[in-house]
Structure 1
Amino acid sequence: RHIMHSLCLGGIMPHRPGLLVLDVGTGGGFPGIPLAIAFPNIHFTLVDSIGKKIKVVQAIVDALGLTNVTALHARAESVQGPFDVVVTRAVASAATLRSWVRHGWSKNPNAAIYALKGGDLHEELSGIKAKLFPISDVLSGEFYETKYVVRIPAK
């Protein structure tokens, strides 16, 4: 379930070779690892503030032989960038995410956050220029009925 959920981002986010993607709050490697497998020509930096989680992620990356992934034990707001795309899954509100990554964007005019979110997002996204993509359009099942990919422009 988490793998398919993560891969939904790949159908919406840009996937041009050479893009730099930051996965904020990767936890066990979601959504970054499934995306890195699907898009080997994109570099993914997976960041989490909990060292034990990053050690597990690094072990998975090593076991899979992924050369397009960097696992980083850090807080999102300390990552310098540059990055073209930020991905995340159930980490923080849209406003908080924007504040954490505001200093690291590349010069890419299409830079954006692609967040996997669920539930009623009206209040959270109030005043933010965001576009919602219902996951239920591509995946069936009760779990996906209230899940979205939310695209939030960098600027």
Structure 2
Amino acid sequence: MEILLKYFADFTPAQLQQFAALQDLYTDWNSKINVISRKDMDGLYEKHVLHSLSIAAFIEFNPGTQVIDIGTGGGFPGIPLAIFFPEVEFLLVDSIGKKLKVVNGIAEAIGLKNVTTQHTRAEDIKTRKFDFAVSRAVAPLKDLWTWSKPLLKKGGQQEMPNGLICLKGGDLTVEIFESDVRPRMVAIQNIFREESFKDKHLLHVSR
């Protein structure tokens, strides 16, 4: 929890309470439904929560913004972002229903009112449009863009154009080449100077 306060200083008491509750909640849920590697549980706040919040350090979502988290798994980056942006609407989707059981349980326990979930694949959503899609190490960039592009509204009213924001690691040269898009790429270690973020990047593809 302390590592969040190293980089963010303006949380409300409600947000502090919600973030503080995540360790025990994920520990409990993870013992029933494995959504986080057990060796990562001790580093939950750095490796999962802070990593997710690199998106919040990159862009300030305006109130009323609609965001879809594609392949949310145990709720990353969606849950930390929903705590950070309480006036932004988040739809967290995953094709594995038991993972969404964890997400729903945690969202309910901490009183998140701006999160809904859907047991589906992103490519099967036909009736909704979003300002941004976010994702964390779910699939190659080419696939993520194919799935998210039809879901995104063009233009936007933010500091950056609507689009896909994804968190990825390693050498992305081939993956970006094969995606046929030109993302803006930011090294996460330039945002949060932690050793664990070496070779991790944030990519933004404009719609």
TM-score range, shorter chain: over 0.9
CA distance in 1, matches of 2:123, 2:59: 22
Aligned-residue identity in percent: 43
Q: Which amino acid aligns with 1:153?
A: S
Q: Deviations over 1:61-119 (max 9, x none)?
A: 11111110001111111123210001100001111011112222224342111100010
CA distance in 1, matches of 2:107, 2:133: 19
Unaligned runs of 5+ in 2: 1-45
Q: Which amino acid aligns with 2:117?
A: A
Whose strand fraction is larger, Structure 1's or Structure 2's?
A: 1
Normalising by structure 2, we get a TM-score of: 0.71
Whose helix fraction is larger, Structure 1's or Structure 2's?
A: 2
Match of 1:103, SS state, is: helix
CA distance in 2, matches of 1:73, 1:88: 16
Structure 1 equivalent of residue 192 of structure 2? 139
Work out which of the residue numbers 29, 52, 67 in structure 2 matches 1:21. 67
Q: Which amino acid aligns with 2:187?
A: P
CA distance in 2, matches of 1:79, 1:95: 18
TM-superposed CA distance for 1:138, in Å, is 2.0
Work out which of the residue numbers 58, 64, 71 in structure 1 matches 2:104. 58
Structure 1 equivalent of residue 206 of structure 2? 153
TM-superposed CA distance for 1:14, in Å, is 4.1
Checking the alignment, whether the CA contact within 8 Å between 1:18 and 1:41 is kept in structure 2 is: yes
Q: Deviations over 1:26-64 (max 9, x none)?
A: 000000000000000100000000000011101111111
Structure 2 equivalent of residue 83 of structure 1? 130
Deviates most, 135-144 or 113-122? 135-144
Deviates most, 71-80 or 102-111? 102-111
Q: Is 1:11 matched up with 2:73?
A: no
CA distance in 2, matches of 1:47, 1:108: 23
Checking the alignment, whether the CA contact within 8 Å between 1:13 and 1:114 is kept in structure 2 is: no
Match of 1:102, SS state, is: helix
Give the greater-gyration-radius structure (CA): 2
Higher relative contact order (CA 8 A, sep 6+): 1
Normalising by structure 1, we get a TM-score of: 0.94
CA distance in 1, matches of 2:155, 2:91: 17
CA distance in 2, matches of 1:10, 1:28: 19
Structure 2 equivalent of residue 106 of structure 1? 153
Paired positions, count: 154
CA distance in 2, matches of 1:57, 1:138: 27
TM-superposed CA distance for 1:3, in Å, is 0.3
Unaligned runs of 5+ in 1: none
Q: Which amino acid aligns with 1:23?
A: D
RMSD: 1.2
Deviates most, 64-73 or 104-113? 104-113
CA distance in 2, matches of 1:144, 1:99: 27
CA distance in 2, matches of 1:142, 1:69: 31
